Structure 1
Amino acid sequence: MTGTDDGRTRRDVLKAAVAVGGSVGLSACLDAVGYQGEDRPPVPSGPADLSTLPARQFAWGEYIRRDAFGNEQLPSHQTLLYLNLPGEGPPTADQRATVERALTRLDEAYAWSHEGLLRSVAYSPEYFQRYGSAPEGVDIYPARRLSAFETPDFDRQDALLHLASDRPDALLAAELALTGERERANGVAFDAALTDVFEVADRRTGFVGAGLPASKQDGLEGVPADGPVPEASPLFMGFKAGFAKNQAPEDRVTIEEGPFAGGTTKHVANLRQRLADWYGEQDFTEQVMEMFSPMHAENDWVEGVGENLGDDSRVDETLDTIREQAREHGRVGHAQKAARANRDEDGGVKLNRRHFESADDGIASLHFPSLQREMSEFDAVREAMNGQDLTEVTPAVRQRVNNGILEYIFVRHRGNFLVPPRDLRALPAPDGTAELA
C-alpha cells in the first residue's frame, strides 16, 4: 500500500482523518488519496426521486457489499454523532422542519449505498420524556447495567446520527455539512444543518474490514506491542463475525405494529478491549474455544480468521451440550453462550449486529450497534452472554475467566434508541406524529 513521507500507510491516514474530523480531517483525507478539487473521483449522488429511498432507515442490507458467501460487508468507515436538543420540553414544528430539511439535503447529496453514504437518526427514551411519555407500541426504556461487573456511562443524549461509507471523504464532507461547517456536500447546497437545532454532545468513529484493525494496531492501547492482529481479520480479536445465517434479517427486527411500524430499536455499546492476555496467554485453539465454543476447537472447525465457515458459524450445533463442554474443557464460548437467547421458537435469529472497531483516544475499542424488534430481546442475549449459570457447572468457569471473551472486554458506554421509519425521522412525538411548520 502506498506510504506517506513519515512512513504511515494511506490507510492509516484515512482512518486518522475520520477520527480527527472537521475540515482538517477532510483535507488530510483528500491529500492521502492523492486528489483535491476537480480530480476527486465522484461520489454517487442521491436519486432524483427521493421517494425511492427505503422507508426503513436501517435498511442497509441490500445496499452494501457481500462476500462470496453472502455475508454483509459493512461500510469501512463509520461515525456516531450523539446529539442533544437544548432546553426542556418537546421540540417545535420549526425545529422539526429544519431537521427534515437537513436530512433531505443529505438524501439529495448521497446515494443510499456503501459507495455513497448510509445513515440513520435514532431517538432515546430520554428524548421522548420531553413529552412526558414513552413512544407508543415500542418495547424500549433507558439503558441500564446488563451485568454485575460492568460500570458503564449511559448515553442519555436525545438523538444518535449514524453515518457509514466506504468513502471517508464522503463521510467527513457529509458531517461537515450537517454540523454547519460547510455550505455544500457532493454538489448539493445545504440550507439547513442539524446543528441549527441540536448540539453535538459526543463524536465517536470507527472502522471494520480485513486489514484495517491490523494496520491500526501499532501503538494502540489495549493491543500488544508485537502487533498480533492478523492482516486478514476484520476485527481486533482476530476472527470474523456477522455470518449471514447467524444474523437476523431486517424484517425480523422491524417493528410491525403501532405508530412506529417500520422502525426498530437500537442498542449501542462501546467496549474497551484489553488483548494482552488474549494474544499472550491463549493459543489459537484456546481462542477458538473462547470465541466460538470448545466443540469448534475439538473438531477443527475454524481455520485462520474463520473464512472457511462460509455463511454459518455453526454455533447452533454447540448449544445442546454447552454444559458438558464447559465441564470437560473448563471453558465456554462467547458465541455459544449468547446464541442460547438469540433464537426464537422457530430457530430464527433475533438480533442484527453491526459492530465495528475504534481507535478513538488511542484505545482499542469496539462499537456494538444491535438492532432488534424489542429492546428486551437484546437484554436477554446479553444476560445469556454473561454465562452466570455456567459458573455453577465447574469452578474453572468463573464470572469473567474462561467465560467466553468477558475477560478481555470492558463496557464504557451503553445507550438505547428508537430508529423511527423515514417519514418520522425528524423529532417525532410519542404518538408517531411529526408535524412540520
Structure 2
Amino acid sequence: MDGPDRGLSRRAFVRSAVAIGGASALAACLQREESEDVPQAALAPEDLPDRQHAWNEFLSTDDHGNVHPPEHHLLLGLEYVGNGPADASGERERLESAFRTLEKAYRRGNDGLVFAVGYGPVYFDRFDGDGPEGIDLPAPKALTPFEDPAFDEYDALVHLASDYGHVTLSAEEALKGELEQLNGLETEGSFNDIFEVAGRRTGFIGRGLPAERQSGVSGIPDSEPVPEDAPMFMGFKSGFRHNQASEDRVTIPDGPYAGGTTIHLSKIQLHLHQWYEQDSRAQRVSKMFSPTHNTDNLVEGAGQNLGDSSGVTDGPNTAAEAARSKGTVGHAQKAARAREDGEPIILRRDFDSTDDETATTHFLSLQRSIADFVKTREAMTGADLSGPPTNSGILQYLTVRNRANYLVPPRERRSLPVPNPR
C-alpha cells in the first residue's frame, strides 16, 4: 500500500486500509497511525454493562449532548461452520474468551473500541423448535412496494467501531485467530473453526469524512461535491439526541434475553446526482427536514446549529399538513410520526461507505423488536401521505440492496446462545 497511496491524507488512507482488510492492510494502517496511543481497558470485563449495546456513556459528545459515533466501522457477516445447532463443547468458552480479549485490550469508547455481536434467524433455525423465546425476530422482507432487496442469511453479525482504523482491523484479525497479541495483551480464543467470515462491509461517519472520500465514487456527482462540513453523504447532520431513542427504550425489558436488543441492518445505495446537481439547497433542506426549515432559514450548513434536535417534533399531523399545503414533506417530518409517548422508538447507528467504490449507507438501527423498525420504516415511506413521491422526503435517492435482522443478546449470552436459555 505504498506508491500512489502516499498522496492520500492519513484519514483517507486509513479508511482505504479498513475497506481492504487483512494483514497487509493492518500493517500499513499501523504505520500511518503509529503515533496514536490506544489505551487498554479501564474496566475489567465483569465490570462492563451487561448490555452489549451500552455504548453511549463511553462515547464522546458535542456541546449539545449529541453522541459522536466512532469514525471507522466494520461489519462481519459470519457463517457457522457446523451443519447443525451450535456445539457447546468448548466452542462457547473459546468464543467468549475472544470477546473478552477485545474488552481487555481496548478501553471502551471512541479512542478504543466498541463492539456488539448479534444472531440472525438462520442461526436459530439450526435448533429444533421455535426461535428465541419471547423475541420478535422474523426473517427480513421487503418493506416497500418499490424495493427488491437481497436478504442476508448470516448466522451472526459482529459490529466493530473505533476512531482508529487499526483498532477495528486488529480486532478483526484477533477474532479470526491471526494475532498472538492485541494492543500488548496475549490473545485468548477466536472464532476460527467456529465461524467463517462470509460478508465484510466497512464505513465511516464524521464531519468532513464523506467529502474526503467522494472522489470517483459512483452515485456522487463531481460537479457538485458533498459539502466539506457534512458528516454523511447527503450533506446534513443526523443523530440528534432528541430524535434518537434512548438505550433504555431499545432494551428488551424481560425474559431470558432481558438486557439485549435487536438490530435491523439495511444496505442502501445512494443516487445523489439529482440531489446535488438539480435540487437546490432550498429543496434539499425541505426534503431532509421540512419546508418550514427552508422558509425560516433554520438550517446553517450541515445543520450543526440545530443543537440537540432536528426541530421536527410537532406530532403526527405535521407531515400530513406539509404534504397537503406545501406539496413537499421532509424525511424528518415523516420519521417523527413513529413515536410512543412522544419519544422515538429506534436508535440509529448508521454510517456511510464506499465499498465497491459506490456511495452507500449502512442503516443500522437498534430497537426492542423488529416491529418497531417496521413501524418507523412505514412512517419514513409515507405511503399514506398526499403529494408526488418525488417530493416525499429522500425516497427517490435511495435503493435498498440488502436487509437483515439480528438478536443482540446481553453479554452473558452473547457466545453461541440457545433459543431458550432457561
Q: TM-score band (shorter)?
A: over 0.9
Within the candidate set 142, 160, 164, 1:163 is matched to: 160
Find out whether 1:422 has 2:421 as its counterpart.
Answer: no
SS in structure 2 of the partner of residue 328 of structure 1: helix
Q: Secondary structure at the residue paired with 2:39?
A: coil
Is contact 2:270–2:359 with CA below 8 Å preserved after alignment? yes
Q: Does structure 2 retain, via aligned residues, the 8 Å contact 1:84–1:201?
A: yes
Q: Count residues in correspondence.
A: 418
Q: How does 1:37-436 map to 2 (within 5 A)?
A: 40-47=35-42, 49-93=44-88, 94-132=90-128, 133-226=130-223, 228-317=225-314, 319-341=316-338, 343-344=339-340, 346-390=341-385, 393-394=386-387, 397-398=388-389, 401-432=390-421
Give me the whole-angstrom Cα distance separating, in 2, the residues matched to 1:153 and 1:90: 25
Comparing 239-248 with 225-234, greater Cα deviation is found at 225-234
Gaps of 5+ in 2: none
Say which is worse superposed, 105-114 or 118-127, in terms of deviation: 105-114
**Aligned counterparts of 2:314 and 2:144: Cα–Cα separation in 1:** 26
Letter of the 2:7 partner, please give it. Answer: G
- For the 8 Å contact 1:152–1:413, the answer to whether it is kept is yes
List per-residue Cα deviations over 1:20-72 (Å, max 9, x = no partner). 11111112212323x3xxxx543111246321111100000001110111001
Amino acid at match of 1:155: D
Looking at structure 1, the residues matched to 107 and 318 of structure 2 have their Cα atoms a distance apart, in angstroms, of 47
CA distance in 2, matches of 1:134, 1:22: 35
When residues 90 and 17 of structure 1 are mapped into structure 2, their CA distance, relative to the original with a 3 A threshold, is same
Give the deviation of 1:409 after TM superposition. 0.8
**Deviation digits for residues 141-185 of structure 1, max 9, x if unmatched?**
111111111111111210000000011111111111111222221
- Give the whole-Å Cα distance in 2 for the aligned partners of 1:49 and 1:318: 44
Provide the C-alpha distance between the structure 1 equivalents of 2:299 and 2:43, rounded to a whole number of angstroms.
46
Q: Distance in 2 between matches of 1:307 and 1:41?
A: 28
Aligned-residue CA RMSD (Å): 1.6
Following superposition, the deviation at residue 11 of structure 1 comes to: 1.4
Say if 1:217 and 1:227, in contact at 8 Å, map to a contact too.
no
Q: Report Cα offsets for 1:68-112 as digits up to 9, x if no partner.
A: 110011000010000010233211112212211111211221111
Match of 2:11, SS? helix
Q: Is the 8 A contact 1:98 1:196 kept in 2?
A: no
Q: 1:82 is paired with a residue of what secondary structure? A: strand
Partner Cα distance (1:11, 1:258) in 2:
43
Measure the CA separation in 2 of the matches of 1:198 and 1:243.
36
Change (3 A) 1:100 1:281: same
Structure 2 distance, partners of 1:352, 1:299, is: 28
Cα distance in 1 for partners of 2:178, 2:358 equals 28
Give the C-alpha shift of residue 319 in structure 1: 4.1
**8 Å CA contact retained: 1:272, 1:409:** yes
Q: SS at the partner of 1:24?
A: helix
**Deviation per CA, 1:347-405, whole angstroms, max 9, x where unpaired?**
11111001101010100100111001111010011111111111xx23xx12xx11111
2:18 is matched with: 18
- Find the counterpart in structure 1 of residue 31 from structure 2: 31
Return closer, same or farther for 1:48/1:365 CA change in 2, 3 Å cut-off. Answer: closer
CA distance in 2, matches of 1:41, 1:299: 44
TM-score (norm: length of structure 2): 0.96
C-alpha contact (below 8 Å) 1:218/1:227 kept by paired residues: no
Q: Structure 1 residues 122 and 5 mapped into 2: Cα distance closer, same or farther (>3 Å)?
A: closer
* Equivalent position SS for 2:314: helix
In 2, distance between residues paired with 1:275 and 1:164?
A: 26
Percent of residue pairs bearing the same amino acid type: 48
Q: Which amino acid aligns with 1:353?
A: R
Which one-letter code corresponds to 2:420 in the other structure?
A: D
Matches of 1:188 and 1:141 in 2, distance apart? 39
Give 4+ residue runs of structure 1 displaced > 4 Å after superposition: 3-6
Give, as a single letter, the amino acid of the residue that structure 2 aligns with 1:328: S
Q: Which amino acid aligns with 1:90?
A: P
Range that drifts further, 187-196 or 169-178 = 187-196
The answer as to whether partners of 2:318 and 2:333 remain within 8 angstroms in 1 is no
What displacement does 1:191 show? 3.3
Report the secondary structure of 2:362's partner residue: strand
Partner amino acid, structure 1, of 2:393: G
Residue 143 and residue 5 in structure 1: after superposition, are their counterparts in 2 closer, same or farther (change >3 A)? closer
Contact 2:5 2:13 (8 Å CA) reproduced: no
Shift of the 300–317 alpha-carbon distance from structure 1 to 2, 3 Å rule, reads farther
